[in-house]
Amino acid sequence: MENQVLYALKHRRSIRKYRPEQITDEELNAVLEAGTYAPTGHNKQDLWIVAVQNQAIKSQLIRMNAAIMGTDTNPYYDAPTIVLVFGSLMSENPNTIQNGSLILGNMMNAAYAIGLGSCWINREIEMFQTDEGKELIKQFGLPDNVMGIGAIALGYPVKNPEKALPRKENYYRIIK
């Protein structure tokens, strides 16, 4: 069975090299809107998406993430846009990480569908637990009781993604 959605799901790959030019507002809005249509437990929608194109804030995010990673390289792969996802604290919603992960997945698939590249980026949980991270949360206009969940690097890929590696044998089971 094949259709456009299944094709995109099978062919989207993480992109780690981006062209320097910024994506269009129309492309960004399409990706962000796709994120808002991800399912959330009990339809709480207690998540926030923040797209960062401001160079000073991007540099700060790069530095913070790299410090946690223990490197001086750019964990966001020089992507022109960084999209962060925040959710309610786990004490308020134990599904917040799962809900935020669905948003990130929706945005990555939407990006591929319109010709953009993306890559899931980790360490936002740790970044936004710091005093510096909490200050950024305020700067972004988010409530105090939120946590970072994850991010995507977003932009135009330098080259088309490689073909998918073969899937492992017995990856899934069907129990009837």
For the stretch 77-122, pLDDT in tens is: 999 999 999 999 999 999 999 999 999 999 999 999 999 999 999 9
Answer yes or no: are the C-beta atoms of 15 and 153 closer than 8 Å. yes
* DSSP result, 36-88: HTS--GGG---EEEEEE--HHHHHHHHHHHHHHHT-SS-TTTT-SEEEEEEEE
Mean pLDDT of the chain: 95
| Average pLDDT of the residues in 53-74 | 97
pLDDT digits (tens, 9 = 90+) for 154-171: 999 998 888 888 889 999
* Domain-embedded: residue 166: no
User: How many domains does the chain fold into?
Assistant: 1
* Domain-embedded: residue 161: no
Domain of residue 108 covers 21-155
Whichever domain contains 61, its CATH number is 3.40.109.10
* Domain-embedded: residue 12: no
* Domain-embedded: residue 165: no
Total-model pTM = 0.94
* Domain-embedded: residue 6: no
| Average pLDDT of the residues in 23-47 | 96
